[in-house]
Amino acid sequence: MPIRMRLGVVGALAAMLCACATQPEIPFDKTQASHLKTIGIVTPSMPDKPTVWLASDVGQSFGLIGALVDAGIQAHRDAVLWNAIDGVRNPPRTAFVNALEASLRRQGFDVKMIEAQRPDGHYLKTYPRTHDPIDAYLDVTFIGGGYGYVAAAMGKATPYRPFVYLHCRLVRASDGATLMQDAVFDNAIGAPKDTVTISANPTYQFTDFAAMRSHPQDARNGMDDAFRTTANMIGTLIR
Amino acid sequence: MSIALRIPRVLVLSLALMTVGCATPRVEPPPLLSLSNRRCEANPNWAAASTIAYDPSKHRGDASAEITSASACFEDAVGQSLYAVYRLPSLPATSLVRVESTPQGQTLMAPRVLLYGPHGRLKRQLSGSRVVFRGSALSVIFRSHADERYLVVASDPAVVGHAIARIRDAVQGSAIYAYPYIVPVYTGADATVKNVLSYNGRVTVALRALPAE
């Protein structure tokens, strides 16, 4: 990964520390969506690969050199985690979309998959027309590092746990009205106010990166668990 | 690139003096887990409804309440609840209401929101899965309906007594003073925050315009 991109990743994650990634919340109201039966899940805007993120470390205190060192370490860990979770044969994107579909079906909705290009990490401005009729589009964009593992600091007292950070919105197909819009963070750093916050699952935690690397199936299970938890919350927000 | 800063001695001394603790620790109320000694009314007392300070020009209104063992209580099919009742102003159709219960030490009121018409008829109740954590507060947000006149924030007896343990990670930026330099340092912390869902607590109600799409 080029240096500029690495610094961009570190910078984006650093921005998360000040909870800058907020959007206005729009609650779902059944009276505005009484005929909502079929939801189209648009291809999420989501990194293909997870991130292993150390939210505070020595490098942050040493300017550009420190940031470069951090970026290099993170890129290496990201690659190791990707191999450990067998991401090529079992893409995280598939796991998340499956969890989202299951969540919506449990809420009683019919679900269709809507393919879409997601070039810029924002909500779509227009949604694809579909052959099958749908009542609303569910648009999900991952923000910050997207998903993976995060630790507040180095040390046994601050283990790595799975995280998922995303924005979601439900848009009525007939007129483009926003029926629901919210942010959902599983294992947030801090307590961002305008965001649904889900506590990390302590079942999946690793005292350090070496422990995560030596338990690849657990690492994958933890990530999938975070996907399910977040997807279930999205389903709850559309009740 | 040097990221340390030279600072005058006077500034260092001033900053040091400012950090001398002046605040008195706040004593938070313990969780109230039983109303067995209370005789509760069958309905909220509409005559005691508080108004919400609402500015129509800014489409903004706020209210807050400390719900304590001395607060009014009513009993319905769910059980007994302490509550605060508000008379809603006439709101534009595009209005958003946010009700939050914020922690007071270990105490965290488990809220449910009931909305009534002008004659005291229950229109809808928001509880259970509609109550989620936003930040560290339990929160319910919803769109206002024109036929709703009273908002009751009540404790939810179905979950009172439940213990909640949430993991909270945080990162804090600080500075090390090594005269004449300041070196920024970032430290991370991991803690388990424990609360008990209770009848009592601190609640806020906020009225806002629904965000533009």
ipTM, 2 decimals? 0.88
Considering the domain boundaries, does residue B11 fall inside one? Answer: no
Residues B144, B90: one domain? yes
pLDDT of residue A7 exceeding 50: no
Structurally, how many domains does chain B consist of? 2
Q: How many CB pairs under 8 A join A and B?
A: 111
Distance from CA of B24 to the nearest CA of A (A): 24
CB nearest to B187's CB, from A31, A153, A233:
A153
Determine the structural domain holding residue B182 and report its residue range: 164-194
Considering the domain boundaries, does residue B15 fall inside one? Answer: no
A214: buried, middle or exposed (CB in 10 Å: 19+, 13-18, 0-12)? exposed
Residues B101, B171: one domain? no
- Nearest of B111, B89, B91 to residue B100 by alpha carbon: B111
Chain A residues within an 8 Å CB radius of B167? 161, 187, 199-200, 202
A29·B133 Cβ contact <8 A: no
Q: Which residue of B has its CA nearest to A156?
A: B190
pLDDT digits (tens, 9 = 90+) for B39-79: 999 999 999 999 999 999 999 999 999 999 999 999 999 99
What is the per-residue pLDDT for A89?
A: 86
What is the per-residue pLDDT for B174?
A: 72
B61: buried, middle or exposed (CB in 10 Å: 19+, 13-18, 0-12)? buried
Chain B residues within an 8 Å CB radius of A24? 211-212
Considering the domain boundaries, does residue B29 fall inside one? Answer: no
Judged by CB atoms within 8 Å, which residues 152-191 of A form the interface with B? 152-153, 157-159, 161, 176-178, 181, 187-191
B190·A194 Cβ contact <8 A: no
State the pLDDT confidence band at B18, using cuts at 50, 70 and 90.
low
Residues B172, B99: one domain? no
Q: Which residue has the tokens 């197909």?
A: A173
Residues B85, B153: one domain? yes
Among B124, B143, B169, the strongest candidate for a mutation testing the A interface, having the largest count of A CBs within 10 A, is B169
What is the per-residue pLDDT for B58?
A: 92
Residues B45, B135: one domain? yes
User: What phi and psi, each to the nearest 5 degrees, are found at residue A106?
Assistant: -65, -25
Considering the domain boundaries, does residue B77 fall inside one? Answer: yes
Higher pLDDT, B1 or A140: A140
Among A167, A186, A196, A206, the strongest candidate for a mutation testing the B interface, having the largest count of B CBs within 10 A, is A196
Residues B202, B186: one domain? no
Residues B145, B188: one domain? no
Considering the domain boundaries, does residue B131 fall inside one? Answer: yes
- Nearest of A230, A54, A26, A18 to residue B213 by alpha carbon: A26
What is the per-residue pLDDT for A137?
A: 97
Considering the domain boundaries, does residue B92 fall inside one? Answer: yes
Give the number of residues written for chain A: 239
Residues whose CB is less than 8 angstroms from the CB of residue B209 and which lie 6 or more positions away in sequence, other chains included = B59, B60, B92, B94, B95, B96
Amino acid at A98: N
Residues B57, B136: one domain? yes
pLDDT digits (tens, 9 = 90+) for B72-105: 999 999 999 999 999 999 988 889 999 999 999 9
Judged by CB atoms within 8 Å, which residues 7-46 of A form the interface with B? 17, 24-27, 29, 31-32
The CATH number for B51's domain is: 2.60.120.380
Residues whose CB is less than 8 angstroms from the CB of residue A89 and which lie 6 or more positions away in sequence, other chains included = none
User: What phi and psi, each to the nearest 5 degrees, are found at residue A81?
Assistant: -65, -40
Considering the domain boundaries, does residue B135 fall inside one? Answer: yes
What three-state secondary structure class fits A162? Answer: strand
